[in-house]
Amino acid sequence: MNIAIGLGLMDFPFRTGTDYWRWVDLCEQGGVDSLWQTDRLVSKQPILECMTTMAALAGRTRRLRFGMNVVSLALRDPVLLAKQCATVDVLSEGRLLPAFGIGSPTGPEWQALDIDTKTRGKRTDESLEIIARLWREESVDFEGKHYRLRGASVAPRPVQPDLPMWIGGSSEAAIRRTAKYGTGWQGGGETAEQAGKVVAAIKQATAEAGRAIDADHYGASFPFYFGAASDPVVTGAQAAYTKRTGRDARHYFAIGDAATIRARVAEYVAVGVEKFILRPVGDGDAVIAQTRRLIEEVLPHI
């Protein structure tokens, strides 16, 4: 098995960029596999733009890999996004892990940008085809409902000969999309039981499509916290999660000691997941402290 633990941020929990780079440097030196940034274009709370963050991480780090968890394709121009990914992959010498999704229909972007949420699926499918072709073909012609290209190309192409294309989402459409385009699947708010069902469905769908996804290219994510479930920072984070998603946060967050977090990882491993994005709960120095404990108390056992 090839289990790898990455860390992710949704919002920007630090006061300054200097504090953020302290956290990145800790992850780089501490053996964390990868860093991930949630995609959000419109937000009242501080959240970094994911593609800009990827470029900055490429320049700051030398070992870490990094990705977007996950970029909402219906909100982006596919040619520009393909070019951005290729550029970051070249400059980082092959450390980009691009992950794509359809985007939450409850996100504020759709209304703010006047985009019909009903077009998300078709826009995403067309974008995935365009991006994949731009990464491997000299010239791309494309005629879709939302995008039309004539002789489009990007150079330099990604350093990775088959740049990974991780797909997010657990709906039937997301499973079909992963089976058709994906080289990996990255879970979001799925419990271990739910993730196991998605993994099994993707494996069946890829077999039917005559494709295969590497066994270690199935991922999951969950928040973690060393401490008590009654701590105010935890109750606040769980309440915000439940309000945003409608899901029961108690079955998703891993709260307790190192053994609790390791046990949660093991639950996902048992259903076929080997890649993880863990999100520390807290702000500022608390994020750094939580990350340090994960590095010292969890990673050596994984």
CATH number of the domain enclosing 38: 3.20.20.30
Dihedral angle sign, alpha carbons of residues 156, 100, 6, 197: negative
pLDDT of residue 53: 98
Does the pLDDT of residue 279 top 90, yes or no? yes
Place of tokens 């073909």: 137
pLDDT of residue 157: 95
* 221 in any annotated domain: yes
Residues 6+ apart with CB under 8 A from 186: 69, 70, 99, 166, 167, 168, 219, 220, 221, 275, 277
103 confidence band (pLDDT: 50, 70, 90): confident
Q: For residues 141 and 148, give the distance between their C-alpha atoms in angstroms, rounded to a whole number.
A: 8
**76 within 8 A of 41, measured Cβ to Cβ:** no
pLDDT of residue 251: 85
Question: What digits encode the pLDDT tens for the residues 6-27?
Answer: 999 989 999 999 999 999 999 9
pLDDT of residue 162: 78
Lowest mean pLDDT segment, chosen from 25-29, 50-54, 240-244, 270-274: 240-244
* 162 in any annotated domain: yes
The identity of residue 215, as a single letter, is A
Tell me the percentage of the chain whose pLDDT exceeds 70: 100
Residue 196 structure tokens: 């196991």
Q: State the DSSP string of 124-137.
A: HHHHHHHHHHHHH-
Q: For residues 93 and 86, give the distance between their C-alpha atoms in angstroms, rounded to a whole number.
A: 10
Residue 41 half-sphere exposure toward CB, CA atoms < 13 A: 15
Residues 6+ apart with CB under 8 A from 153: 134, 137, 138, 139, 140
Angle, alpha carbons 136-139-145 (nearest 5°): 95
Alpha helix stretches (DSSP H) within the chain: 17-30, 50-60, 78-91, 109-112, 120-136, 172-181, 192-208, 232-245, 258-269, 285-297
| Domain total in the chain | 1
* 302 in any annotated domain: no
**185 within 8 A of 215, measured Cβ to Cβ:** no
Residues 6+ apart with CB under 8 A from 65: 6, 33, 34, 35, 95, 96, 97
Tell me the percentage of the chain whose pLDDT exceeds 90: 88
Characterize the bridge pairing of strands 140-143 and 148-152. antiparallel
Does the pLDDT of residue 129 top 90, yes or no? yes
Q: For residues 296 and 278, give the distance between their C-alpha atoms in angstroms, rounded to a whole number.
A: 15
Lowest mean pLDDT segment, chosen from 131-140, 156-165, 278-287: 156-165
pLDDT of residue 126: 97
- Going by C-alpha positions, the residue among 22, 45, 37 that lies closest to residue 236 is 45
Does the pLDDT of residue 245 top 90, yes or no? no
* 224 in any annotated domain: yes
Residue 165 structure tokens: 């294309």
Q: For residues 201 and 167, give the distance between their C-alpha atoms in angstroms, rounded to a whole number.
A: 14
Mean pLDDT over each residue of the chain, to the nearest integer: 95
* 147 in any annotated domain: yes
pLDDT of residue 250: 86
Question: What digits encode the pLDDT tens for the residues 262-275?
Answer: 999 999 999 999 99
* 278 in any annotated domain: yes
For residues 40-68, average pLDDT:
96
Residues 6+ apart with CB under 8 A from 29: none
Residues of the domain holding 228: 4-297
Does the pLDDT of residue 89 top 90, yes or no? yes
Name which residue leads in pLDDT, 204 or 244.
204
pLDDT of residue 104: 81
The identity of residue 78, as a single letter, is P
Does the pLDDT of residue 208 top 90, yes or no? yes
Question: What digits encode the pLDDT tens for the residues 138-189?
Answer: 999 999 999 999 999 999 999 997 788 999 999 999 999 999 999 999 998 8
